[in-house]
């Protein structure tokens, strides 16, 4: 049972490039979410989904897109990367949600935008 | 919107000393969750508190949920070097909002 799998673990982009952070869970969780973590800022919610076909914005959604075509996958897209998006990104899922049940986090993806 | 404040931001202790981190919400919460993140790692769930005034213990860790369900604390008795990491509280009222965390370092 892999839990929540994030790829890639590390990525360096140039300003203006696009990329997708992948997140997959094998626990049949309905709720999935993306957080970014910056020094001194804690975990801030970017986007979340309560089920396939349903997504919503979190606290810091600008510059990011998401989609949820299957229960298992919840990719995060950066359409035109900016240095301000340099951060560690965590995907998390739960069996009920968003707040009722506990979150299982992936190992994280460290993104640097030059 | 809902805000969750956590203090202190940093705490350095000698091994064997006690440690406490506090979490305060601007709104009444349906539940509060605590997570631990080791350096270079990802947040890992510790516990969830649901009831007003609830107290739960996990070995040397004691978690409390306030009577008004707006504040919570995590207390570690006799810290060990394995306790090093950042402790986050997450307050839930439909959305889970995290505090900024308390980084605990332990001097052996």
Q: For chain B, give me the number of helices (H) and strands (E)?
A: 0, 11
Residues of chain A contacting residue B49, judged by C-beta atoms under 8 Å apart: none
- Residue-wise pLDDT for A18-52, tens only, equals 999 999 999 999 999 999 999 888 899 999 999 99
Neighbours of A47 (CB within 10 A): 23
- Residue B95: band (very low, low, confident or very high) from pLDDT cuts 50, 70, 90: confident
Minimal Cα–Cα distance from A89 to chain B, Å? 10
Q: Are B71 and B24 in contact (CB under 8 A)?
A: yes
Report yes or no: A108 at the B interface, CB cutoff 8 Å: yes
Closest listed residue to residue B74, CA positions, set B52, B99, B56, B97: B56
- Residue A100: band (very low, low, confident or very high) from pLDDT cuts 50, 70, 90: low
Q: What pLDDT score was predicted for residue B6?
A: 96
- Residue B9: band (very low, low, confident or very high) from pLDDT cuts 50, 70, 90: very high
Distance CA B34, CA A99 (A): 12
The average confidence (pLDDT) of chain B is 95
From A4, which residue of chain B is nearest by alpha-carbon distance?
B42
From A103, which residue of chain B is nearest by alpha-carbon distance?
B45
């Amino acid at each position: 049972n892999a839990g929540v799998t994030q790829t890639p673990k590390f990525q360096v982009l140039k300003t203006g490039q696009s990329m997708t952070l992948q997140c997959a869970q094998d626990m049949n969780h309905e709720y999935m979410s993306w957080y970014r973590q910056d020094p001194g800022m804690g975990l801030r919610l970017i986007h979340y989904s309560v089920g396939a076909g349903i997504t919503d914005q979190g606290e810091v959604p600008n510059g990011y897109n998401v989609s949820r075509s299957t229960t298992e996958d919840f990719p995060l897209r950066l359409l035109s990367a900016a240095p301000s998006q340099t951060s560690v990104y965590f995907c998390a899922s739960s069996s009920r949600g968003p707040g009722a049940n506990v979150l299982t986090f992936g190992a994280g993806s460290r993104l640097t935008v030059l | 919107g809902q805000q969750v404040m956590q203090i202190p931001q940093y705490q350095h202790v000698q091994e064997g000393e006690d440690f406490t981190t506090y979490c305060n919400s601007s709104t009444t919460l349906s539940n509060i969750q605590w997570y631990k993140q080791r350096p270079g790692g990802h947040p890992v769930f510790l516990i969830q508190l649901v009831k007003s005034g609830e107290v739960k213990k996990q070995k040397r860790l004691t978690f409390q949920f306030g009577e008004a369900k707006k504040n919570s604390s995590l207390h570690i008795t006799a810290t060990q070097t394995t306790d090093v990491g950042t402790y986050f509280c997450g307050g839930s009222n439909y959305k889970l909002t995290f505090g900024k965390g308390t980084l605990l370092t332990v001097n052996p």
